[in-house]
Amino acid sequence: MICPECDGQGSVEEDEISGGVNENGPYMYIDLIEQFCMECNGTGKVLTQDEHDALFYDRIKRLNVLEMLEKPPDSKLH
């Protein structure tokens, strides 16, 4: 799905405000800058809830398999 935050561009425009005080008094500049989109990590695409859930459950399954591989088998020595 296309990222609604950046419209699929991977970056967003934001205002950067800077300023201070000099001999003429206070001043402020507002510059428009392009930032990396935090919503889609710059890819321009976001996951639907179903895609997110599928990835989540796939990762859980893999973690469970890894945990089982790391545990030594139960063995009883007589």
2 falls within a domain: no
Element counts in the chain: helices (H) and strands (E):
1, 2
57 falls within a domain: yes
Domain span including residue 46: 11-70
- pLDDT score, position 47: 86
3 falls within a domain: no
- pLDDT score, position 62: 81
Write out the chain's pLDDT in tens, 78 residues.
899 999 999 999 999 999 999 999 999 999 999 999 998 988 999 988 898 888 888 888 888 776 766 666 665 555
Q: Which own/partner contact pairs does 49-52 have at CB distance under 8 Å and 24+ positions apart? A: none
- The structural domain count of the chain equals 1
75 falls within a domain: no
- pLDDT score, position 16: 93
